[in-house]
Amino acid sequence: MRNLSVGIALALTVLFSGILQAQNKTDPALNKLTADFEAAYNAGDAVKAAAMYADDAVQMPPDEQMVKGRSAIEARLKSEMQKGKVTLKLSPSASAISADQAYEAGTATVALPDGRTLSEKYLVVYKRVGGEWKIAYDIWNSNAPPTPKK
């Protein structure tokens, strides 16, 4: 019985250490997509940034309604970029690929035109479309607590 308990404990240790290691690694293919999006966004190229989304993608910005479809996402990006130069720095912290779906989670630093810097977190779900990875769902929100009402 003791050998069985030791065996189960050993198996669970190996299983969970593998899961924890996988959660701390990021996939190089997804890292490239993130870098490409960051470059397009920082260049003010809404068309190129939006091209990374699937036709039926959904963007979920904080404190806004969902934005559905690539053309609506492109319009939102253009509008956002016209408000002034914003610099986005994305730092993936975990990702995984399973067949035709993948995810990436991470943190973002956003430098605003007025000099303020925002600290955010994000989650992107990808799907394979025609052999290419496209963003299916994109959600992010602030790490700061909500502003109190006056």
What CATH number should be reported for the domain holding residue 120? 3.10.450.50
When divided into structural domains, the chain yields a total of 1
Q: What is the tens place of the pLDDT at every residue in 94-136? A: 999 999 999 999 999 999 999 999 999 999 999 999 999 999 9
Between residues 75 and 149, the one the model is more confident about: 75
Q: Which domain holds residue 77?
A: 26-142
CA distances, 28 to each of 25, 33, 37, 93 (Å): 9, 9, 14, 12
Q: Is residue 6 assigned to a domain?
A: no
Q: Is residue 3 assigned to a domain?
A: no
